[in-house]
Structure 1
Amino acid sequence: MTIFNFTSDSDISNWKILDDVVMGGRSDGDFKINAEGHGEFSGKVSLENNGGFSSLRYYFESLNTENYSKFVIKLKGDGKSYQFRVKDKRNNRHSYIYKFDTTEDWQKIEIPFSEMYASFRGYKLDIPNFNGDQMEEIAFLIGNKKAESFQLLIDTISLE
């Protein structure tokens, strides 16, 4: 199942940037379709005013995903570490998180649902890992506890 396949004419209106500015920080993320037709999440993470993260979130109607066991994402990074996040229900405060490192080449990242742990505001929660039955939101986040520029190109996000 394909969740999103980026092309030059993709509708990205349900993709939203959420930076640490919601709590007074100064990070600045951006999202667009680049000239090659890939999703481009880029910007600067700032530690000013207790900041330190930028995120890109995709909201969609609830998907029944109980017949799948992992995300498969084709992306090209910048050598930095990121988080991929999922919410089974958009209104939940916690997300399920998987951390991954990027290279400067195209990669296929496989993320088993069973390895995605629950977290809220940086704290791991004592509840079971993601069961994968349904989802309403996915996200990419960078927050490596340092000020840095970043760029993540995204080609496809699917389930297997």
Structure 2
Amino acid sequence: MTYFKNILTSLLILGIFALHPSLNKGETPFTYFQHFVYGNSLTISTNSAINKNLLEVKWICETQNITCKDLVIYKNGKQINDIPSERGKQKLIVFYNQNKIGEISQNKTTEKQAHQYNIELLSKKESLFFSGEIIGPSPYKGPPTSILSVASL
């Protein structure tokens, strides 16, 4: 029985270390395991002046691939689809009241890698501020964008 407990303890400790973000690189069993556990997550941060029902996020595939299709990820205040794990060039394009506000680009060299997609949209004194970043093996941190007149949207 002690031998069995030692094996289970070793597997548990190995599993915990296998989930460390530094192992989410390349095409390894650790990468697939992390993608299975974490997947791709989307976080959208807004302040109270932003109507989330007017916010839409589209995933656009720039690489011509048979399995790669454009997809609406976020609409009407909720996430309706998961972000795909396709290889190639993609963009998350953010719209507010049907107007393009900003985009986040990515070039994934490997499928099945876990990423965190963060979008921040704030409104202050008739101005709209957008920033976006991707955390993971294929990261991106775009420059913040501001739109001077929210009323025009």
Measured against the shorter chain, the TM-score band is under 0.3
Q: Which has the higher contact order (CA 8 A, sep 6+)?
A: 1
Higher radius of gyration, 1 or 2: 2
* Larger fraction in helix: 2
TM-score (structure 1 length as normaliser): 0.27
